[in-house]
Amino acid sequence: MPLDNAPAVITTNTNVPNEILTAIFLQLPPSTLSELARVSHRFNAVAELILYSSISIKDILSESSPHPWRTFQCCESILRRRNLLENIRRLHIRWQKDPRSPPSHLHFASTSAKLAQVLTIATTLESLELFMGPANIEAHPGELHIVERMIRGCRFPRLQQCFLGAEAQKGSPPYSGILDAFLASLPFLRHLKLLDHHAALNIPSDALRHLASFRGSPDTAAFLLPGRPVEYLSLVGQDSDVNRDNLPRFTQTSIPLRVLDLSAMTVRPILLRNIANYIPTVEVLRIRLALRHTLHYALSGIRILTGLASVLSAFQHLTYLDLSPTTVVGGMQSNNDQELSLCREWTRACPSLRKVIFPSHKEWIRSPDDAWSSRG
């Protein structure tokens, strides 16, 4: 919203109470707030409180810009305004290479130092995202993982959401006990993502007692889920990473696992059968099917998915099946009649099913009188 189009009350009435002014400013996008901050000292004070409460920075690293300068400038700005530190609730930082013009040299040292400095004093955070992109690949032998260099010594007693990760390749520094100690220090964490951690976590059994969701590798999940109230699980990697060693541990949560997201891996029907045998409590299932391995090649079009019926019959509580992440193979087409036929067939195998999204992204809903209708 351009400043000229902002509500008239904030440009003409300077006697508006701060509470009302704040309520108005909360409805405005960051670009407009930045403009308003230059209007007057009073507007600046209110706008800054809002702008600094939720910070999201994305640096695209390219040949012409190999330095995460947005993050650097943000950190310097925070350090100059320490009076705003206690208002920062959300800090999301993402670094990634520009695939069109990847940098031949990267420069992280100065920005990493600034970011680590900010994190040690931003103790009121409720949501933290640190995706350091290629920074861990650029690390020297013997160095700590780039994420651990950022979080070492940090304390976030209010943190509820945490997303940590970086790109990895052979020889990249692994995580150490610093990550374990950090996670164990988060008493109210509810949502955790660890995309590049593929081993056990050595944290006390009484830590993370409020954890409700996890996204990460099967091996890490196997050590994190037992005894904790996790009801949402999203796995990354290969479907072969889910095996007889880790799958049984997914069943040891303190409450039933309700949502399983397998959209980040290509899934064969055999894995779905194994999951159904171990976790029949799943109510929401999101999957990216490996259609090349699915049964019934002789069937044409979307009917290739008919082989799922025998698998779905094992999910006794499934209400929502999302196949939209599935890549449609060449020549595979669908129409309403075919999708409706599949919905009816799957309902006979899985009577609890109420909602289906196909690879076409068309959504089908089952009404109380058992009639299926499409949306989208």
In angstroms, the CA 248 to CA 246 distance is 6
Percent of the chain residues topping a pLDDT of 90: 65
Q: Is the pLDDT of residue 293 over 50?
A: no
pTM: 0.88
Domain span at residue 263 reads 258-376
In angstroms, the CA 359 to CA 155 distance is 43
Predicted local confidence at residue 330, as pLDDT: 56
Predicted local confidence at residue 101, as pLDDT: 85
In angstroms, the CA 252 to CA 72 distance is 43
Contacts of 164 (CB under 8 A, 6+ apart): 128, 129, 130, 131, 147, 151, 179, 193, 194, 195, 197
Contacts of 63 (CB under 8 A, 6+ apart): 98, 101, 102, 103, 104
Neighbours of 367 (CB within 10 A): 9
Tens of pLDDT, residues 315-350: 999 999 999 998 766 555 568 888 999 999 999 999
Report residue 85's pLDDT band, with 50, 70 and 90 as the boundaries: very high
Whether residue 303 is contained in a domain is answered as yes
For 7-16, 99-108, 217-226, which range has the lowest pLDDT when averaged over its residues?
7-16
Q: Residue 269 corresponds to which amino acid?
A: P
Whether residue 341 is contained in a domain is answered as yes
HSE value, Cβ hemisphere, 13 Å, CA-based, for 199: 8
In angstroms, the CA 116 to CA 70 distance is 15
Whether residue 288 is contained in a domain is answered as yes
SS3 137: coil
Tens of pLDDT, residues 136-164: 988 777 789 999 999 999 999 999 999 99
Report residue 296's pLDDT band, with 50, 70 and 90 as the boundaries: very low
Whether residue 338 is contained in a domain is answered as yes
What is the number of structural domains in the chain? 1
Token digits of residue 197: 């951690």
Whether residue 373 is contained in a domain is answered as yes
Token digits of residue 311: 């698998």
Tens of pLDDT, residues 32-65: 878 877 777 788 778 888 888 999 999 999 998 8
Report residue 201's pLDDT band, with 50, 70 and 90 as the boundaries: very high
Whether residue 166 is contained in a domain is answered as no
Predicted local confidence at residue 197, as pLDDT: 95
Whether residue 246 is contained in a domain is answered as no
Whether residue 198 is contained in a domain is answered as no
For 116-120, 262-266, 276-280, which range has the lowest pLDDT when averaged over its residues?
276-280
In angstroms, the CA 255 to CA 226 distance is 10
